[in-house]
Amino acid sequence: MKRKETFDASAFVPKLKKKKEFKIKEESESGAAKPPSKPDKKSKFSKPSKPPSKFDKKGPKYESKTEESTEKPDWKEIKKERKELRAKRKSKKLENIYDISIEGKKIDEEMRRKDCPPEERTKLCQKLFKLFEGNLVKLVFSHDISRVIQTLIKYSSTEMLATVAAELKSSFLNMIQSKYARNCIKKFFKYGNDQIRSDIFAACEGHVVQLMSHSVAAPIMDYILYKKNKKDKNKKCWASEQVRSTFKQEFYGNMYRTSKDSSVKFLSDVFAKAPDMKSATLSAVKMNVTKILSKNPNCLLIHSVLAEYLIICELNDRAELIGTLKESVVELLATKDGAKVAMICMWHGTAKERKAMLKVMKEQVKEIATSEYGYLFLLAMLDSVDDTVLVKKIFVPEFLSHLQEIVASEHGKKVVLYLVARRDTHYFHPALISLLSEGDNNLTSKKSADVRAKELLEAVIEPMLESIAKDVNSWLADGPVMLVTHAILKAASGNDKLVDAWNAIADFLVNEESTLKHEEADIKAVEHPALHLVLKKLIVADKERVEREETSFGDLLVQKMSTEVIKRWIEFNRACFLIVLLLENERESVVRELKGKLKDLVKEIKSKKHKD
């Protein structure tokens, strides 16, 4: 018999959740029960709590210190503790050579004393050498010990110096790139021999582009490549042309990093025999040059590479580089190659780029005009900028404000001459004229060269004449300056201010106290050979002025020549020749006046005899 199953409905009834029971906390003083507190909800804007930092000065550990913080700290004790801590850290860093470095610095202090006897210094140097020997590689990169090693290099004997260099030979490349050790490289070049210098050059091979783009290494590379050796009689640079040529090759492509070609002197030599390499080579040069210009535009070796590249490269590549270099033209003028690069930028730059270059050089016109290569850039500017109004506004005022200093300079006087006698072979060497003519066919300049030169001359000629009239002594100071003075007077023909300048020169001549330096001695101005040549040219040119019925220099001079002046002049050979020239070239009225003054001195003149 089957068992009868009963139905349990409670199994299908859902169980209800029990309500949370909140315990009523302590009653308030008034007896009212406190309502249950809600659990804190975190806002979505609230910041997550940070774990306690080890630097948080809270808790019982710091409570006592907080209480004592009101006391005044003992700064001497604190400084002493910090100094000891630094010393401990340094000794740990230098491991076993800390004591050596301390001892070395003491010896260095003794060696550098001015009152240290040479014999004592030699002994100290030997002691320092023995102390550092075997540890130089570890010590040379330290900021303080590198100075001690510089002293060691300076005072070491030839044998000791060779040993020091041999120990550091493997670290030369790293030393060049080190902020402190690089100065030891300078000392090696200054006090070392050719073998040491050769080893340093060898360490650089394969890394030239890297070193030139390195902010620390680049100045050292310029130093070792272009610094002149004062010990050399000819003042040649430490690096030969062959070394510089070898270093330049690394800009021409990666193939020259490991293997050099002695036949490659210039960029054009790379693809002279293999024209197919031209495109790849120029691309490599552009990449390397751009890399360095972005970091160190003043690198001297890059000037040489740029001068070669800008002549050969495509027009769009040249335009791109000119746009990069326009703000750096003044820095380029430190070298001959850099000046050539600046000239190319001026020749082939757009009108806007030329204006930018003019603005950059505005405050440094005097320095550029008087520098060994900077004046070339100014000549290129005078040759190419069509906007003469801009030149008159930016360049001319600065130039004229320093005219005396510029004309007294060996290079500055060439700028003055170019303004008044452009490309005159009497003043400029054919090689210089040939260099300047390279920019004649540029695509930017449209104005005629003669028109441009005339407009610039009009802007400067009167101020120059005024300067001569005001300070004639400076303009007749020596032979080269007198040559410039004559060029100005010659270019000023027909100008109203010319007579004032002539009068000043005539007054200087007839003044009894006027003297000039010649061969380290003071002689009468009228007897000076260079001035005699200038006066001769002026008087001979009077013949043409007389034909044009213009006032001549002789007119003014004869008026100022009193009997007393002529009496003094007949004592000098060159002065007598000037009188003869006046009689031969001046107008009849002037000749009659001069003859009348000479009649009273016939007896004295006949009594004078000059030995040739």
Q: Which residue has the tokens 């032979």?
A: 479
- Is a pLDDT exceeding 80 seen at residue 6? no
pLDDT confidence of 5, banded at 50, 70, 90? very low
Flag whether the pTM goes above 0.85.
no
β-pair partners for 518 = 521
- Is a pLDDT exceeding 90 seen at residue 203? yes
228 or 382: which carries more pLDDT confidence?
382
Cβ proximity of 534 and 482 under 8 Å: yes
- Is a pLDDT exceeding 90 seen at residue 157? yes
Q: What confidence score (pLDDT) does residue 601 get? A: 80
Name the residue among 399, 544, 553, 426 with its Cα closest to residue 484: 426
pLDDT confidence of 605, banded at 50, 70, 90? confident
**How many Å apart are CA 481 and CA 516, to the nearest integer?**
13
Name the residue among 384, 220, 364 with its Cα closest to residue 300: 220
Radius of gyration of the chain from its Cα atoms, rounded to whole angstroms: 42
- Is a pLDDT exceeding 90 seen at residue 531? yes
Give the mean model confidence (pLDDT) for residues 48-58.
52
Q: What Å distances lie between residue 612 and 332, 573, 583, 605, CA to CA?
A: 53, 9, 22, 17
**How many Å apart are CA 48 and CA 463, to the nearest integer?**
78
What is 548-580 written as a DSSP string? TT---HHHHHHHH--HHHHHHHTTSHHHHHHHH
Q: What confidence score (pLDDT) does residue 277 get? A: 87
**The dihedral formed by the CA atoms of 475, 481, 486 and 492, expressed in degrees to the nearest 10:** -60
- Is a pLDDT exceeding 80 seen at residue 18? no
β-pair partners for 609 = none
181 or 604: which carries more pLDDT confidence?
181
Name the residue among 387, 338, 390, 386 with its Cα closest to residue 362: 390
Give the mean model confidence (pLDDT) for residues 544-569.
92
Contacts of 418 (CB under 8 A, 6+ apart): 378, 379, 382, 428
**Pick from 20-29, 41-50, 181-190, 598-607: least confident:** 20-29
Contacts of 196 (CB under 8 A, 6+ apart): 161, 162, 165, 188
What percent of the chain is predicted at pLDDT more than 70? 86
Give the mean model confidence (pLDDT) for residues 605-609.
70
Q: Which helix (H) or strand (E) holds 521?
A: strand 521-524
Cβ proximity of 237 and 225 under 8 Å: yes
Name the residue among 372, 369, 380 with its Cα closest to residue 341: 380
Looking at residue 504, what DSSP letter applies? H
Q: What confidence score (pLDDT) does residue 76 get? A: 82
Give the mean model confidence (pLDDT) for residues 536-546.
93
Cβ proximity of 473 and 509 under 8 Å: no
**Pick from 265-274, 481-490, 570-579: least confident:** 265-274
pLDDT in tens, 467-482: 999 999 999 989 999 9
Q: What confidence score (pLDDT) does residue 59 get? A: 52
- Is a pLDDT exceeding 50 seen at residue 201? yes
Name the token pair of 343.
């000239």
**Pick from 46-50, 99-103, 239-243, 393-397: least confident:** 46-50
pLDDT confidence of 51, banded at 50, 70, 90? low
**Pick from 93-97, 303-307, 320-324, 362-366: least confident:** 93-97
**How many Å apart are CA 416 and CA 370, to the nearest integer?**
11
User: Which amino acid appears at position 281 of this protein?
Assistant: T
**How many Å apart are CA 586 and CA 544, to the nearest integer?**
10
**How many Å apart are CA 470 and CA 465, to the nearest integer?**
9
- Is a pLDDT exceeding 50 seen at residue 113? yes
Cβ neighbours around 244 below 10 Å, total: 16
Q: How much of the chain is in helix, strand and coil states, percent to nearest 5? A: 65, 0, 30
**Pick from 9-18, 391-400, 550-559, 590-599: least confident:** 9-18
Q: Which helix (H) or strand (E) holds 238?
A: none
- Is a pLDDT exceeding 50 seen at residue 581? yes
Give the mean model confidence (pLDDT) for residues 409-427.
96
**How many Å apart are CA 16 and CA 436, to the nearest integer?**
106
Q: What confidence score (pLDDT) does residue 228 get? A: 82
pLDDT confidence of 11, banded at 50, 70, 90? very low
Mean pLDDT of the chain: 86
**How many Å apart are CA 81 and CA 209, to the nearest integer?**
46
- Is a pLDDT exceeding 70 seen at residue 17? no
**How many Å apart are CA 211 and CA 221, to the nearest integer?**
7
